[in-house]
Amino acid sequence: MNNKVVQYLETILIFLAIFSIWPSIFRIDNIWFKVIMYVFLIIMIIIFFKRIKRIRTHMSKYSNFKKKKARHLKKSD
């Protein structure tokens, strides 16, 4: 899938996870609401690690770009 589509899907899942907390805030005790909350907790953990990986990838690409640019500037001196 396209990277933008994945990011939008992750954002939608984050909002759904936030909405899944509301029954607990209003003290509605139901086993299904708790199951949904735990499912979204697992999804949020997966999204968290995927975003950390994505950030590290972009940071390493950026640092490699800066190193190449610095080498290029040294050669032109």
Q: What is the pLDDT of residue 77?
A: 53
Q: What is the pLDDT of residue 25?
A: 87
The DSSP secondary-structure symbol of 26 reads T
- Confidence class of residue 70 from pLDDT cuts 50, 70 and 90? low
Over residues 9-64, the pLDDT tens digits come to 999 999 999 999 999 889 888 999 999 999 999 999 999 999 999 899 888 887 87
Please count the structural domains in the chain.
Answer: 1
- Residue type, position 71, single letter: R
Q: What is the pLDDT of residue 58?
A: 84
Burial of 19 (0-12, 13-18, 19+ CB in 10 A): exposed
Residue pair 43/17 in contact (Cβ under 8 Å)? The answer is yes
Q: How many CB atoms lie within 10 A of CB 41?
A: 13
Q: What is the pLDDT of residue 41?
A: 95
